[in-house]
Amino acid sequence: MTTYNHQSHGPVSLDRLHQISEILSKAAAQSDGGNLGYAMADAVKVIAGVFAHELVRREHAVWSQATFGDVGPVGPLKHLSKEALEAAADPSDPLEWADMQFLLWDAQRRMGISDEFITRAMIEKLEINKSRQWPEPKDGEPRLHIKEQSAPVIPDGWISCSERMPDEIGRYWCYVEEQNDLGKSHYQWNCSWNGDKWGGEMMSGKVTHWMPLPEPPQEFNRG
C-alpha cells in the first residue's frame, strides 16, 4: 500500500537536508569510488554550502529582530541605497556586499515575501528586461531602458480586479501597474484590502490583479 506521510512528499527542510547529508556521507565513504561515489561527495558539499548560507541568514534575522524590533521593510530598503553607493565607491570590499545582502534579506523577511515568490518575480522581470531596448552600456553609469514595452502577460493564478475583489479583509499578493517618468511599469507587492480599497506601505500605482498570500516557510528548528 502506498503511503504519503514520508518526508519526501513534503518540502525539504534544513533538518531533512542535514539527514540527507549524513546518509550521503556514509554512503560515499562505503562506496568503491567511481562516478556515483564522487557525485555523492559533491552533493554533500552542496548541502554544506546551503547550511552555511541559511545559518548566517537566520542568525542575522534573529539579531536584526532583537536589535531593531518589529519594524517594516522600508528602513532596510532605504539603508540599502546608502550601502550601494558605498559599494560603488569600493566594489572590491566584500563587507559592503555583505551589508547589501543583509539588508535585502531583512527587507524581504519583514515584508513577508518567500524565496519562491522572489524567484517567480525574477523570472517574470527577466522576460520584461529582455523585451526592452537598452542603450550602449557605459561603465559607472546606471542602465536605463530606452522605452517601456507593453504590459507583460499575467501568469496563471492571478485574479483580475475587474472580475472580482477579495471576499475577506486582509493582506494579499498584488500585481500593481504604475505610471512614472520612464513610462508604465509593473511590480508585485504585499497589499492590504479593507473591503473598499487597496493599500500598502510605500505602494503606489493601481492594483490590477491579486492572489492569496503563500503559506509561510517552515521554521528551522535543530532543537
pLDDT tens digits, one per residue of 78-97: 999 899 989 988 999 999 99
Model confidence at 3, pLDDT cuts 50, 70, 90, reads: very low
Which sign, positive or negative, has the C-alpha torsion 185, 186, 190, 195? Answer: positive
Q: Which domain holds residue 205?
A: 159-212
Say how many domains are in the chain: 2
The answer, as to whether pTM is greater than 0.85, is: no
57 lies in some domain: yes
**Locus of grid cell 492590504:** 192
Give the residue from 19, 46, 69 where a domain finishes.
69
26 lies in some domain: yes
109 lies in some domain: no
76 lies in some domain: no
42 lies in some domain: yes
190 lies in some domain: yes
**41: alpha, beta or left, given left = phi > 0 and alpha = psi -120 to 50?**
alpha
What digits encode the pLDDT tens for the residues 145-204? 655 545 556 667 889 888 889 989 999 998 888 876 666 778 788 888 988 888 876 677
Helix axes 34-68, 94-111, angle to 10 degrees: 70
Q: Is the pLDDT of residue 1 over 50?
A: no
Which sign, positive or negative, has the C-alpha torsion 63, 68, 73, 76? Answer: negative
203 lies in some domain: yes
d(CA 157, CA 168): 18
153 lies in some domain: no
Give the residue from 21, 48, 69 where a domain finishes.
69
Average pLDDT over the chain, rounded to an integer: 80
